[in-house]
Amino acid sequence: MVDAVANARARYAALSALFDAGTRQHLLDRELAPGWRCLEVGAGGGSIARWLGQRVGPTGRVIATDVDIRFLNRARRENVEVLRHDITRDPVPLASFDLVHARMILIHLPERDAVLRKLAGALKRGGWLVCEEFDAVSAGPDPAISPHEILLKAHSAMRRLSCDRRVDGRYGRLLFGRLRELGLTELGADGRISMVQPGSPAASLLRASYELRRTAMIEAGYITEAEFDADLARMETADFIMPAPILWTVWGRRR
């Protein structure tokens, strides 16, 4: 049985180690400044919300939202408000924010395009929308291209389960076109990819993702218990490598 709290902490720590530095730089590149009003959607472990609070200072404000706010206590500050909020159902103030940021939430939402429109609608004139999502399709493990790469059965099983759950593994790659369709300007995109190897943050994230879905993958018949355990053991061997999904950061500005 997976310890959900420990699993979430492991995933948030790995995401932070892998991507926070790049996320912070992209937000700084949007000229993030003191006094800004920011919305952090799907704030998760709160690392970016805490940092935003420091950057916007006492004259600024950050609203950090998630459906599960158990891990956001450390993000609370005088200028950082934590709200339990379902972005698919709950309203968002229109034309209210200088910056709206979301990382790794849209691919999981069947209503992803409607949510993206809602996020764009929350921007003030001149405000920035910055979204970061995985593209798990464009650069998957392929031993035919790189003989050292290993395609785990657990990885294939997770992809099948994701399709069943209407997760869109392409969405990071689609984001640029989606933001252009919304009429945002000054568009840009950047992709980040790393190699999964034993002991790396990417390996920790992947392992936690597999473990979170273990029971569902086995019950669906996509993998056996023995195959799953063998794959996790394989990830610990010295020669294990596979490319992680691409994290696309895409940004645009409201006219």
Query: What residue segments make up the domains of the chain, in order of their start?
Result: 6-253
> Which of 80-89, 133-142, 185-194, 236-245 has the weakest average pLDDT?
133-142
**Which contiguous run of DSSP H or E holds residue 248?**
strand 246-253
Q: Which of 193, 210, 59 is nearest to 139 (CA)?
A: 193
Partners of 38 in the β-ladder: 62, 99
Q: How would you classify the pairing of strands 80-84 and 61-66? A: parallel
6-253, CATH topology level? Rossmann fold (3.40.50)
Q: How far apart are CA 48 and CA 100, in angstroms?
A: 12
Give burial (CB, 10 Å; 0-12/13-18/19+) of 96.
middle
pTM of the entire predicted model: 0.94
pLDDT (0 to 100) of residue 28: 98
pLDDT (0 to 100) of residue 78: 94
| DSSP letters for 10-68 | HHHHHHHHHHHHHHHHHHHHTT--TT-EEEEES-TT-HHHHHHHHHH-TT-EEEEEES-
Q: What average pLDDT does the segment 137-151 reach?
A: 86
Q: What average pLDDT does the segment 31-57 reach?
A: 97
| DSSP letters for 73-117 | GGG-BTTEEEEE--TTTS---TT-EEEEEEES-GGG-TTHHHHHH
pLDDT at 219 over 80: yes
pLDDT at 115 over 90: yes
> Which of 144-148, 196-200, 215-219, 238-242 has the weakest average pLDDT?
144-148
